[in-house]
Amino acid sequence: MQVSGAGGGYDALRWSGTCVTLDANELTQRTPPAAKNAKVEFRFLDEPIKEALRQDDTVNKAYLARRKECKGATSGDVSLSCVKADEALSHAIVNYVREGGAVPMPEKLP
C-alpha cells in the first residue's frame, strides 16, 4: 500500500491483480464485528439431516440443552433460557456446516 497524495487516498492491490484507489474514509483500523447468520430451525429439517447433525458432539450437546430448556415449546411464551438455547443450537449447526461437516441432501426442496 502506498499513499497517493495529500488527499489521503490509498492505492490497493485487489486479489485479481488490479489496482483500486481508496479514499481515507473507506478504511478503518477497527476489526469488523463477527459475521451473523440466519437462524436455523432444527425442527423443520428433514430427519436424515437431523440425524447427521446430531452425530457431531457440539451440535448434539446444544440439541439436548435446547430440549431440556424448552421442554417441547417452539413458539409463544418461552423462557429466556429457551431462547438462548435455541440460538446456541442454531449457531452450533452453522459452525458445523461452515467447517465442512457432512450433511445429506434434503428430501424435499422448497
Domain boundaries, the chain: 1-29, 42-98
Residues 38, 44 contacting (CB under 8 angstroms): no
Name the residue type at position 77.
D
**Which residue, chain included where needed, has cell 436455523?**
40
- pLDDT of res. 5: 52
State the average pLDDT over residues 85-103. 95
Query: pTM score > 0.75 for this model?
Result: no
In this predicted model, which residue has the larger pLDDT, 17 or 9? 17
CA gap 86, 39 in Å, rounded: 9
- CA distances to 15, 45, 46, 49 from 106, in Å: 35, 8, 6, 7
- pLDDT of 4 above 80: no
Give tens-digit pLDDT for 13-40. Answer: 998 999 998 888 888 889 988 888 899 9
Q: Among 49, 82, 45, which Cα is nearest to 66's?
A: 82
What 3-state class would DSSP assign to 12?
strand
Residues 88, 65 contacting (CB under 8 angstroms): yes
CA gap 44, 83 in Å, rounded: 17
State the average pLDDT over residues 94-101. 95
